[in-house]
Amino acid sequence: MQPLADVDALVAVLVAGAQEDDGEAVDALAHHLQCAALLVERAPDDVELQVAGLVHDVASTVRPGRPATHARAGAALVEPLLGARVAWLVGRHDDAKRYLVTTEPGYRARLSPTSVVTLEAQGGMLADEERAALDAAPDLPALLALRRADDDAKVPGREVPGLDAWRAALDTVTAA
């Protein structure tokens, strides 16, 4: 899988997500847009986090059906274009789900049925050493914010800004 060459290539992948049915209540494009919009509300000063929300599942569109590897594959796709921090957030958002299920007893109940299935494919609850590594991560709060937005971004019919509204943010992060 080749990294995305430019913002136009990234946008094309996001648009293709409108045709993706992964068993969730919304298609991939709607999911990405909802996730990013939620992060604008929750972290208005963190454009990189918002962009990570917009692109966190791009690998699932490029190569569907690989829940255990989609996060790391997505990081590899976006890192040359969007930088190390966005790639780290994208690459670890599945670990954040595992972290929250491990550390918050009621978190699993928030997951969609599809997300529960992929949780097992991604390794289930974290081992102690995996949890310790995430506990030590300096950007853990942002990662958990991304994960929570990811889980909340599956509402059919939710009105959010379209993809065109994200071009300036993508250009800003790309230029950084």
In this structure, the number of other CB atoms found within 10 A of the CB of residue 164 comes to 8
Domain contains 169: yes
CB-based contact 44:26 (threshold 8 Å): no
Domain contains 112: yes
Position 18 pLDDT exceeds 90: no
CATH number for the domain spanning 126: value is 1.10.3210.10
The reported pLDDT for the residue numbered 20 is: 72
Domain that includes residue 100, residue range: 7-175
User: How would you classify residue 124: left for phi > 0, otherwise alpha for psi between -120 and 50, otherwise beta?
Assistant: left
The reported pLDDT for the residue numbered 60 is: 92
What average pLDDT does the segment 151-169 reach? Answer: 97
How many structural domains are present in the chain?
1
What average pLDDT does the segment 9-18 reach? Answer: 93
Domain contains 2: no
Domain contains 1: no
Render pLDDT for 107-137 as a digit per residue (tens, 0 to 9). Answer: 999 999 999 999 999 999 999 999 999 999 9
The residue among 47, 34, 25 whose CA lies nearest residue 148 is 34
- Report the share of the chain in percent with pLDDT over 70: 100
The residue among 23, 39, 14 whose CA lies nearest residue 152 is 39
What average pLDDT does the segment 84-96 reach? Answer: 98
For the chain, the first-to-last Cα distance in angstroms comes to 24
